Amino acid sequence: MTRALIIGVSGTELTAQEGSFLKAFDPWGLILFKRNIEHPQQVKALTEAFRKAVSRPDAPILVDQEGGRVQRLTKPHWPLYPTGETFGRIGRIDPESAKKAAYLGAYLIGIDLISVGISVDCLPVLDIPVAGAHDVIGDRAYGRDAETVSVLGRAAAEGLMASGVIPIMKHIPGHGRAGVDSHLDLPIVDAPLSELETDFIPFKANADLPMAMTAHVVYEAIDPQNPATTSKTVIDTIIRGKIGFDGLLMGDDVSMQALKGPIAERATASLAAGCDVVLHCNGHFDEMQDLAAVVPELTGKALQRAEKALLSAQKSYPQRDLVDARAEFASLLALAG
């Protein structure tokens, strides 16, 4: 039975222990980080080994490949891509060129990923940073207004899907007001609901996308006790309700320090709140075993959403000439100055 779990592994190839774990517990997906990546042949071998271990050739393999400071596949084997903010700068000069650039950049990222067996990218970032917030989002964002973020985020998602890669919009319902980095501490946002509704706009505009990742953020106006990832109120009322997202909802990494308590309790709380799958990134084997003891089979509505997500990037798109595409992308980026 496939578990409602996405895991990380420790290195550039599966250990014997990890291989046995994968065969026994069959997590739905794998997420890769820089510790897992050396060169294209190695990454392709790792993705193939994961899919063989779980006996699912379409098992999703994820990565955070945004561009800028969040890029796991990098030089010398892969191109560097710009920050989200770069596309926003182009948009202030020529909005149509910005949309083309965001689409092309994501398309080219997708081509890089699909060639080594990575099928899901944790992009687009639909958060809207506000003045005084922590820079954990910062230049990862496409802009500081809802319209820019909505439009450029959509363009990036379409570019990924055209390459055959599934997008994940993040961090729903909005991480842009966080005063601390949720990797290290729990952000508490005290803005009234009337202000938070501006942050929801890009997610609502892209609510038909196949997957979304929650924010480890407390919104006092909605649920003063629990971050979105473990808040049934936020998930039911805001994410599924007001925003209208009905795709696969995954929590952000349960090993981040914004969440408290044993790892198994964090996972159980996120699923009870309404997340469809648990994401565990650090590759620590003892924590993986703890999760395997509590994370259930992927069934029901969550399974339907997962299956639908896997089909979302399988439409037939015309293939671009990559030399021409990279040349056009470079010319569009020149507009950013």
Domain count along the chain? 1
Q: Is residue 208 part of a domain?
A: yes
- pLDDT, residue 330, reads 96
* Domain boundaries, position 41: 3-68+115-135+164-293
Q: Are 102 and 87 in contact (CB under 8 A)?
A: yes
DSSP 104-123: HHHHHHHHHHHTTT--EE--
- CA 303 vs CA 92, 309, 329: distances in Å: 41, 10, 37
Q: Is residue 305 part of a domain?
A: no
Q: Are strands 3-7 and 27-32 parallel, antiparallel or unpaired?
A: parallel
Q: Is residue 288 part of a domain?
A: yes
Q: Is residue 276 part of a domain?
A: yes
Q: How many CA atoms lie within 13 A of 200 on its CB side?
A: 22
- pLDDT, residue 65, reads 98
- 77 is a catalytic site residue: no
Q: Is residue 319 part of a domain?
A: no
pTM of structure: 0.96
In the predicted model, residues of the chain with pLDDT beneath 70 are 314-316
C-alpha 168/C-alpha 156 separation (Å) is 11
| Polymer length of the chain | 337
C-alpha 102/C-alpha 317 separation (Å) is 17
Respond yes or no on whether the N-terminal peptide bond of residue 40 is cis (omega within 30° of 0): no
- CA 292 vs CA 102, 267, 320: distances in Å: 38, 10, 42
Q: Is residue 75 part of a domain?
A: no
Q: Is residue 170 part of a domain?
A: yes
- 286 is a catalytic site residue: no
- pLDDT, residue 153, reads 98
CATH of the domain at 30: 3.20.20.300
The residue annotated as part of the active site, out of 94, 135, 183, 208, is: 183
- pLDDT, residue 316, reads 65
- pLDDT, residue 319, reads 79
Q: Is residue 267 part of a domain?
A: yes
- pLDDT, residue 241, reads 98
The residue annotated as part of the active site, out of 252, 253, 276, 290, is: 252
- CA 330 vs CA 32, 76, 322, 333: distances in Å: 27, 18, 12, 5
